[in-house]
Amino acid sequence: WLFIDEFLEELSDTQVQEYELLAHRQEVLKHCLEKLTPKQRELVELRYQSQQTMQSVAQQRGLTLDAAY
């Protein structure tokens, strides 16, 4: 049982560390997104939340692909 308890403790610690890292990354990303203009933020949201290609995003917004980037 000792081995199982140690394994579970280590697994729990790893999960906590991964959660903390993810929470930190989300906070940093949120901060970066807040610095974008509304138009830039919209392009990012279309690309990643809607999982569209940049070509599709550019076409929807009437932009060249270079301008969308």
Residue 2 confidence (pLDDT) above 80: no
**Are 34 and 23 a contacting pair, CB within 8 Å?**
no
Q: How confident is the model at residue 51 (pLDDT cuts 50, 70, 90)?
A: confident
pLDDT of residue 25: 96
Residue matched to tokens 């403790």: 9
CA-nearest of 60, 18, 24 to 39 is 60
Residue 38 confidence (pLDDT) above 90: yes
Q: How confident is the model at residue 6 (pLDDT cuts 50, 70, 90)?
A: confident
Tell me the pLDDT tens digit for each residue of 15-32: 989 999 999 999 999 999
**Are 29 and 45 a contacting pair, CB within 8 Å?**
no
